[in-house]
Amino acid sequence: MSVTAAKGFRAAGITAGIKDSGNPDLALVVNDGPRLAAAGVFTSNRVKAAPVLWSEQVLKAGQVSAVVLNSGGANACTGPKGFQDTHATAEKVADVLGLNAGEVAVASTGLIGVTLPMDKLLPGVETAAAALSGHGGEKAAIAIKTTDSVHKTAVAEGAGWTVGGMAKGAGMLAPGLATMLVVLTTDADLPAADLDKALREATRLTFDRVDSDGCMSTNDTVLLLASGAAEVTPAYAEFADAVRQVCDDLARQLIGDAEGASKDIRIEVVGAATEDDAVEVGRSIARNNLLKCAIHGEDPNWGRVLSAIGTTSAAFEPDRLNVAINDVWVCRNGSVGEDRDLVDMRYREVRITADLAAGSETAVIWANDLTADYVHENSAYSS
Amino acid sequence: MSVTAAKGFRAAGITAGIKDSGNPDLALVVNDGPRLAAAGVFTSNRVKAAPVLWSEQVLKAGQVSAVVLNSGGANACTGPKGFQDTHATAEKVADVLGLNAGEVAVASTGLIGVTLPMDKLLPGVETAAAALSGHGGEKAAIAIKTTDSVHKTAVAEGAGWTVGGMAKGAGMLAPGLATMLVVLTTDADLPAADLDKALREATRLTFDRVDSDGCMSTNDTVLLLASGAAEVTPAYAEFADAVRQVCDDLARQLIGDAEGASKDIRIEVVGAATEDDAVEVGRSIARNNLLKCAIHGEDPNWGRVLSAIGTTSAAFEPDRLNVAINDVWVCRNGSVGEDRDLVDMRYREVRITADLAAGSETAVIWANDLTADYVHENSAYSS
């Protein structure tokens, strides 16, 4: 599982002391090759953390030999000092492992606007390097957790090759391209251009369609590293499918562990004129606080679905809209449909189907309900 | 106060039995002239309630002789039956008062997707007509409440003329143009075109800049009726100013009574390149659930302000952004500024100032915090 499921990778997760809690807070993933091909997608938030700015530059060359990730501090909105700290972290990794700092990606997560304790982080890099192992994927996944209650890993197997990965993310979880830290590894032998294409396709349909709380992070990073150690070059479609499978699995785990959530809401928009329309409508429903409260209260309040659809620019006629909640079509032709008392909402997963009756395009967006626990967790986070 | 502060108007608020609670639920406002000039702005939600569709048609002629408003049911997403019910309500008012139904505006508020109990509403119109009085403005304001804890009225006096009004709205409160039911009356003598211009200017800067919970209603209606009974035609600028004053007062009351809120957040965006940029940034901050939770927890979490700004398309450079919370500049040049411990957030009003350092335009948006009480109130609303 995790980032060491594929051959050619070592990883470690250790406690550097960045977190006051004493929980693991530093992860290192190393690609031992023979290939160092890599691709990455990053937050589209215009306020980007220092490690995002750094790693975007690193990824331009399509080569990554190591990734260092810390929890306990986002290193976002930290000015020139923050960028220097990221640079120093990459240099330290390069120094300890005999690599080129320009091939070391950096990712950080935690509170915005606080500089990292470099006196703890840099010695931590040495500890992590000493702990690197072909079985360290699980520990690395644990070390990148913030408010996550569980660590997240996934794997997909091809014919003689593997794609594995780890993810963290529980709040500030809405697509920007992606909304979390994710590292995927594969031992398949593919050029960086193919990795890039497969990763962009996969994130567009998975992480980019997760919208837990409408809040886009400054630190989102999704990396895909290929070692070529399996000495197999799979057909592109087959490889892209495996990457999407792993991303989908991790995205679903993120929603299932979102801060304070009691429901996972699968919003399927059908009958849209375009895919963009379907995504816009799905997101509008996903972000409607009143609907999210209603789902929490197990109330099939379809009027709030319609009022959310009505704020979009998608093609539809109000008197042709249909809405199902857990397969009961409670709204037909923009008006009262089947009896809402038929809707059973006891289970964690709730399915909303919105039919725009305007075409044949579809999209699925995953969201969470809005709960008092979310409020409690996020009104006390930094204090 | 309220809609009977201006001469030439009578109003009533009674219990028709639409609400199960037995609270007042039907209001009637009559313009006795000599003028019947009127203007209205309505929700920009594309899913519009039947009374909105009806009243939009009525207002096209710029003449309104009466407004009938009910709480206890929004008559939205109720299909052809819903529109027939609205029409029948206007006909009943016209019939009882000897008016033309084409000059009777209708407004409804309450749960979406439920048809109105016409067997209670129509007799209620007769009761309300019998109760009409030149001092009935207060009772009318009470009868349009839903989850409002207090009724809302305001008044502004000119030289020999008056603008008064009432408003309701506590949830699904975000601009669409306006997001609530509001009736304003004046005894000034002005043509419908001037009323329309003054009302649009006022709502753009007041109700349209209230964003309590990001959720746009299907029923928003703001009407301005002029009786001409004061026999004074004020200068346009003076009149427009009075209308804006009343709208501003009512908008502030709506924020102060929003569902479950414990804080009123005044977000002032300064240094914007355009007013549109300022409004876009203000709204993005206003709708950020994580920030709204932080404010609830009295946590001056300026990183969440920056992450919200970063999702907009406004002109700015991340490393030039400045943010103050209650006048303490906690973020300077996109990085750590004054000590966040200096911020005192004990009071209900919290002021966030976001300086984009990109120009000289400004805008103020009002929002509320996100609380467990909001979740509780809205997860149980329809059950």
Domain boundaries in chain B?
2-256, 264-379
Q: A309: Cβ–Cβ under 8 A, 6 or more apart, which residues?
A: A281, A284, A285, A316, A321, A354, A356, B46, B47
User: Rounded to whole angstroms, how far apart are CA atoms A177 and B139?
Assistant: 52
Query: What ipTM was assigned to the predicted interfaces of this complex?
Result: 0.76
A126 marked as part of a ligand binding site:
no
For an interface test with B, the pick among A379, A381, A382 (most B C-beta atoms closer than 10 Å) comes out as A379
Strand partners, A30: A10, A66
CA distances from B375 to A30, A89, A374, B180 (A): 45, 42, 10, 20
User: Active site residue: A15, A78, A89, A179, which one?
Assistant: A179
CA distances from A332 to A13, A292, A320, A323, A336 (A): 53, 21, 7, 7, 6
CA distances from A184 to A44, A57, A94, A374, B303 (A): 20, 19, 21, 29, 28
Of B172, B296, B374, the CB nearest to A307: B172
User: Rounded to whole angstroms, how far apart are CA atoms B312 and A46?
Assistant: 8
Whether chain A has a CB inside 8 Å of the CB on B297: the answer is yes
Topology classification of domain B264-379:
Ubiquitin-like (UB roll) (3.10.20)
pTM, two decimal places: 0.80
A with B: how many residue pairs have Cβ under 8 Å apart?
Answer: 219
Tens-place pLDDT, residues A319-365: 899 999 999 999 999 888 999 999 999 999 999 999 999 999 999 98
Give CA angle at B208 (B205, B211), nearest 5°. 120
> Which amino acid does the sequence have at A337?
G
Q: Are A48 and A218 in contact (CB under 8 A)?
A: yes
Helices (H), ranges, A269-368: 275-286, 289-296, 302-309
User: Rounded to whole angstroms, how far apart are CA atoms A213 and A255?
Assistant: 10
- A34 upstream amide cis, omega within 30 of 0: yes
Chain B CB contacts of A113 under 8 Å are 302-303, 306, 331, 335-336
pLDDT tens-place values along chain B, 383 residues long:
799 999 999 999 999 999 999 999 999 999 999 999 999 888 877 788 899 999 999 999 999 999 999 999 989 888 899 999 999 999 999 999 999 999 999 999 888 888 999 999 999 999 999 999 999 999 999 999 887 888 989 899 989 999 998 888 766 555 443 347 888 899 999 999 999 998 888 888 888 777 777 677 777 787 898 898 999 999 999 999 899 888 888 888 888 888 788 999 999 999 999 999 999 999 899 988 889 999 999 999 898 898 889 888 999 998 899 999 999 999 999 888 999 999 999 999 999 999 999 999 999 988 889 998 888 887 874 43
Whether chain A has a CB inside 8 Å of the CB on B48: the answer is yes
Chain A CB contacts of B296 under 8 Å are 375, 379
Smallest Cα–Cα separation from A108: which of A148, A150, A143? A143
Topology classification of domain A2-256:
L-amino peptidase D-ALA esterase/amidase (3.60.70)
Tens-place pLDDT, residues A144-156: 988 788 898 989 9
Q: Which residue of B has its CA nearest to A172?
A: B290
* Cβ–Cβ gap A47/B319 under 8 Å: no
